[in-house]
Amino acid sequence: MTKDFAVFDADSHVVEPPALWDKYLEPEYRTLGKHALWRQEGRTGSYLKVNGEIFRDTTNPNLPRHALWRPGMDWDAIGALDPHTRHPMTEGASDPQARLTDMDAMGVDQTLLYPTWFAEGFFLVDDPDVAFALARAYNDWIADFCKPAPTRLFATAILPLQNMDFALEELQRVARKACFPAVFIRPMFLEEHYLNHPYYEPLWAELERLGIAAAVHPTPGLWNPEWTSHGPFFEKIKDRLAEPPVPGGGGGPFAGGGAASNTTFQQLTPLGHPLAPILAPWLDNHMFVASTLIGFTVMERYPAMKVVVAHGKASWMQEVLEKMEASTRVIPLLHHYPVSTEPEEMWEQGNVMLGFDAEERLIQKLPQDFAAKIVWGSRYPHHDATSAWDAIAKLRNAKVPDALIARMMGRNAADQFRIEPVRQTAA
C-alpha cells in the first residue's frame, strides 16, 4: 500500500510513568501528589489511587489493555494472547523514540497525544493546589516527550479545572509552547457541574483568544463515582449479573420463576469485559455536543474556537442534529443565552470536528457527508487500536476517493490544530 499525503493521528495516548511523580512533580508536592493521584502497576495486580482511595483493577493483570497493541497486530492477535502469560506494555506508550518507530510502521506522520491515567483520575482530585501542581508536572513531562520530534509529536495539555484561576494561568503558560495545540477536556461532571455551566465561560473565551483547540475525549470512568459520566452506570448494570438472587424470588433479573430460574441464574457468570469502554464514549460525547456546544450555544457565542471531539465515533452526529432540529421547532426552548441559528446551521458553521475510525460503515457509505467534519484517530496503544494503513485500506475498499481520504486522515486535523503537515513515513 502507498499514500501520497500526510497522516495526522488525532487520537493516540501515552501512559504516564512513575518519573512524572518522582521527577517532574515539585518536591514539596510529591507526597501529596501521590496521595491525590497515583497509578500502581504491580506484579500480581494494579490499582488507581485517587484522593487516597484505592480502586483495584478487576480485569486480568496479565493483559494491560491500555497499552497492549503494537504495529503488526490486529484485533484477532490481541484476542489470541495467552491470558495466563504476563504481557508487557507497549514501549512507545512511555518512550518517545519507541513511539516514533511505531508511528513509522503505522503510516502515521504526526500525532496528538492524550493522557491515560490523568484522563481517568485527574479531574477527581479534590485539592485545587495539588491539582495545579500535578497539571504542571504532566505538562512538563509531555513537553519533554515531544522534544525529540517537534514537527511530529504534539500533546494535549492538562488544566486544573478544579480552580478556574489556576486553569487559566496554566493555559497561558502552555500556550507559549509549540507542542500544545490543544487542551484536554473530559466530558464529565466536575463538582456536580457539567461543561455547560457558566463556570466554564472564561475557559471557552480564553481558548478562542489564544487559538488553542479544545480536545474533548471521554474515558470509561471505571474507577469514578457514578455521577461523573456514563461509564460507572454501565458497570453497575453489568455487575447485576453477579448479584445473588433475592430470597423469595423477588426483585432479581430472574425473579418469579422458582427453583428453575434460580438455577439458571446461578449458572451465569459476570460479563468479563467492561461495558463502559464500549458504550460510554459516544454517549459522553453526545451529551457534550448536544448540551454544551449546541444547546447552550458555546459554538455560537465563541465562533472562532476550534473543537475536536475524539474517540466516540462520528456517525451519531446526524441523528443528534435531526432530533435537535425537530425539538427546537416543535417545543420552544427557553435559553439563558439567545439562539440565533438552528442546530444544523450552527453545526455546519462551527469549528468542530469529530473523531472517527475507519470501521464506521456509515462513513464508508456516505463519505461526502462526513469528510469536512471528521479526523482520524488510531487509539494507540489501546487494545482496540488500528494503524493508518488499516484505515486507508478500509476506506479504499469502500471506494472512497483518495482526495477525501487525504482530508479525513490528515488535512482536517492539521488545519484544526493549526499545524503544518509533514510527510515522514515512506510513501
Is the pLDDT score of 360 beyond 60? Answer: yes
Is the pLDDT score of 426 beyond 60? Answer: yes
DSSP secondary structure, 273-318, as one string: S-SHHHHHHHHHHHHIIIIIIIIT-HHHHSTT--EEE-SS-STTHH
pLDDT of residue 139: 98
pLDDT of residue 271: 64
**Please, where in the chain does CATH 3.20.20.140 lie?**
8-222+276-416
Confidence of residue 267 (pLDDT cuts 50, 70, 90): low
More confident residue, 211 or 316: 211
Lowest mean pLDDT among 29-33, 54-58, 131-135, 234-238: 234-238
pLDDT one-digit tens code per residue, 223-241: 898 889 998 888 888 777 6
Largest Cα span, the chain: 68
Mean pLDDT over all residues of the chain? 89
pLDDT of residue 377: 97
Task: Map residue 63 onto helix, strand or coil.
Answer: coil
pLDDT of residue 58: 78
pLDDT of residue 182: 98
**Residue 115: cis peptide before it, omega within 30 degrees of 0:** no
Span 376-402, mean pLDDT?
95
pLDDT of residue 342: 77
- Find the helix or strand (DSSP H, E) in which 354 lies: strand 352-356
Percentage of the chain beyond pLDDT 70 is 89
pLDDT of residue 343: 80
pLDDT of residue 170: 98
Sheet of 53-56, strands arranged across? 37-41, 46-50, 53-56
Give me the residue label for grid cell 489470541.
80
pLDDT one-digit tens code per residue, 186-223: 999 998 899 999 999 999 999 999 999 999 999 998 88
**Residue 381: cis peptide before it, omega within 30 degrees of 0:** yes
Is the pLDDT score of 401 beyond 90? Answer: yes
* Backbone dihedral angles phi then psi of residue 367, each to the nearest 5 degrees: -60, -30
pLDDT of residue 69: 94
0.85 exceeded by the pTM?
yes
Contact 225, 125 (CB under 8 A): no
Strands 182-185 and 153-157: parallel
Is the pLDDT score of 127 beyond 90? Answer: yes
Task: Map residue 397 onto helix, strand or coil.
Answer: helix
Confidence of residue 331 (pLDDT cuts 50, 70, 90): low
More confident residue, 264 or 320: 320
Is the pLDDT score of 21 beyond 90? Answer: yes
pLDDT of residue 11: 97
Confidence of residue 245 (pLDDT cuts 50, 70, 90): low
pLDDT of residue 295: 81
Give me the residue label for grid cell 486535523.
413
More confident residue, 324 or 421: 421
Give me the residue label for grid cell 479531574.
123
pLDDT of residue 257: 43
Lowest mean pLDDT among 64-68, 117-121, 375-379: 64-68
Confidence of residue 337 (pLDDT cuts 50, 70, 90): low
Is the pLDDT score of 270 beyond 70? Answer: no
pLDDT of residue 244: 60
Confidence of residue 316 (pLDDT cuts 50, 70, 90): confident
pLDDT of residue 263: 46
pLDDT one-digit tens code per residue, 300-312: 899 999 999 999 8
Superfamily of domain 8-222+276-416: Metal-dependent hydrolases (3.20.20.140)
pLDDT of residue 54: 94
pLDDT of residue 315: 87
Tell me the β-bridge partners of 157: 183
pLDDT of residue 242: 62
